[in-house]
Amino acid sequence: MKKIVNEYRNYTCGELRIENVNEEVRLSGWVQKVRNLGGMVFIDLRDEFGITQIIVNNDNQELENMAKELNTESCIHIEGKVVERASKNPNMSTGAIEVIANKIEVLGKCKNVLPFEINTDQEVREDLRLEYRFLDLRNEKLHNSILLRSKILKAIRDKMDELDFTEIQTPILANSSPEGARDYLVPSRLNPGEFYALPQAPQQFKQLLMVSGFNKYYQIAPCFRDEDPRADRAPGEFYQLDFEMSFATQEDVFNVIEEVIPSIFKKFTTWKVDEGPFIRIPYKEAMEKYGIDKPDLRNPLIIQDVTELFKDSEFNAFKDKTVKVIVLPEGSKQGRKFFDKMGEFATSADVGAKGLAWTKIEESGEVAGGIAKFITEDIKNALFEKYDVKNGDAMFFIADEFTKAQKIAGLVRIELGKRLDLLEKDVYRFCFIVDFPMYELSDEGTIDFSHNPFSMPQGGLEALNTKDPLDVYAYQYDLVCNGYEMASGAVRNHNPEIMVKAFEIAGYTEEDVKNRFGALYNAFQYGTPPHAGAAPGIDRMVMLIADSQNIREVIAFPKNKKARDLLMRAPSKVTEEQLKDVHIKLDLEK
């Protein structure tokens, strides 16, 4: 770091060492603590770089009185002489010295009463923290997370530059695009009745850049989606490392991700980091084995299908159902309370199971507990031979309609991993999920895009013309890390004929395509190269590296769970005149 020297400071609060003894110094920062010991006042002065202990002795009564009146979190400037501490503090980088002040100037006074204490372990209501985010960001852990984010962004840019990518910014005011979420609409003052949309992703623009002859593009792109928030998803806006390459295949994209992502993680963590090539799991296999398309590979449990095994069972709950089993090694050691609690979890509103059947195999080989009476000798033998069950194991069974059974089993697997502390420690496990279906059935029973509408179908136009749409796979892929979706990408559909057919299957006419994606449709008539790309999420990347459980902890000014910015009080009402300017009338329910 370049040395800071100006009228406010010639050292930072984390910089002074024993070799600075007898120097006259200038420091500025925030009052972290004031300790009045009678004839001497101690001040812990904090800035972004550390803490320095300041002493005001009774040689200067006016200065001592001033020091006693300082409020914590006031911003002050001091001048003084560095001396060696008699009682050194090995836990502080500046713990060998202290500064005897001969001048104190209050640069910014803080109120007597803070809304909450800074740099303490006390629990503070999140909405209060967000309302006073400028204070919350003074907390060392949170402050360091934002600094870490800055360093990660720089490292990403350095790596992408090293790989010969060109950074290009794309527009924020764009057109509406079916990216899988609601758009944020912006009314146009100059074009009455028409709207911009904030980009859910720079998808069309980056493809147009490939048509324009750029070889490799990237940007740290802001994206806007009107989605409900989660712990791992910020409401409203997020950032991603958006990149695209001309004359590229799925393999080329994987090579870039395997080069960039592990190098960034290794730079900022002491945990073990998977190196490429990452494990590749087809979407269908992921759903079968893990019940989710973003599996946490630190969890050793897998889901197996035992529908055929129980087809003649007398247990009515399994009749005409898809039946999944999760084998829990050494699970027979768990008491009845554990199995009951797992049942409560499975039948909770968030999971939605009708029940959770279980049984266990004692060390003696006896089948006990739960649905033991329905485990015949033939079923028991098959469980041992085909499903790797052993004496001492327990089993959880999930029976439901196929899709629901997969989903519920996936949630039960995750919960078992948490409750039994089965997850591998201090490691980042990566995998690619590949071979996503091009289409899915909507809630209304119509054919819809399942992932990215601009993806190339596997098999091209022939597959679209000859296959059941639900059997068509796309060159789409996700990067997953420790149970979080880290990136999505695809080989792009660059052929206008295939593009029209793909959208036609999803219910769009060629005229719809021309109107909604006119720029791409038109550009594809003028010599488009094959191209592919992906977009790792910046916020989730920082969250994982910082080992944070909440994405709001790695964003400087996040919104709350209701998508409100409590600091800036947004969203807010606007005046009638502002609405009139953009030709809008409100139609609100009373």
Q: pLDDT tens, 118-136?
A: 987 778 999 999 999 999 9
Q: What top-level class would CATH report for the domain 299-423?
A: alpha beta
Q: What is the pLDDT of residue 178?
A: 58
Calculate the alpha carbon distances from 483 to 232, 241, 537, 554 in Å. 11, 19, 14, 18
227 versus 269: which is more confidently predicted? 269
* Mean confidence (pLDDT) of the chain: 94
- Enter the tokens of residue 527: 């010599």
Q: What percent of the chain has pLDDT over 90?
A: 87
pTM, whole model, 2 decimals? Answer: 0.92
How many CA atoms are closer than 13 Å to the CA of 538, on its beta-carbon side? 26
Mean pLDDT, rounded, for 229-240 = 84
Which backbone phi and psi does 240 adopt, to 5 degrees?
-140, 155
CB 389 within 8 A of CB 382: no
The angle subtended at Cα 44 by Cα 41 and Cα 48, nearest 5°, is 160
Q: Cβ atoms within 10 A of the Cβ of 30, count?
A: 21
Assess whether pLDDT exceeds 90 at residue 2.
no
Assess whether pLDDT exceeds 90 at residue 180.
no
CATH code for residues 138-271+477-494+529-590: 3.30.930.10
Classify 294 as helix, strand or coil: coil
End-to-end Cα, the chain, rounded Å:
58
Long-range contacts made by residues 415-421, C-beta under 8 angstroms, separation at least 24? 415/342, 415/345, 416/301, 416/326, 416/328, 416/342, 417/296, 417/298, 417/299, 417/301, 419/338, 419/341, 419/342, 420/328
Q: What is the pLDDT of residue 130?
A: 95
Q: pLDDT tens, 286-325?
A: 999 999 999 999 999 999 999 999 988 889 999 999 999 9
Q: Give the fold, CATH level 3, of 18-108.
A: OB fold (Dihydrolipoamide Acetyltransferase, E2P) (2.40.50)
Mean pLDDT, rounded, for 440-448 = 90
Res. 177 pLDDT band, cuts 50 70 90: low
Q: pLDDT tens, 50-95?
A: 999 999 987 888 899 999 999 999 999 999 999 999 999 999 999 9
- Give residue limits of the domains in the chain: 18-108, 138-271+477-494+529-590, 299-423, 437-473+496-525
Q: What is the pLDDT of residue 5?
A: 86
Res. 186 pLDDT band, cuts 50 70 90: very high
Mean pLDDT, rounded, for 340-344 = 96
Mean pLDDT, rounded, for 340-359 = 96
Q: What is the pLDDT of residue 59?
A: 82
Mean pLDDT, rounded, for 174-182 = 74
Q: pLDDT tens, 493-532?
A: 999 999 999 999 999 999 998 888 888 999 999 999 999 9
Q: What is the pLDDT of residue 75?
A: 98
Q: What is the pLDDT of residue 145?
A: 96
Res. 402 pLDDT band, cuts 50 70 90: very high
Distance CA 482, CA 297 (A): 6
Q: pLDDT tens, 154-169?
A: 999 999 999 999 999 9
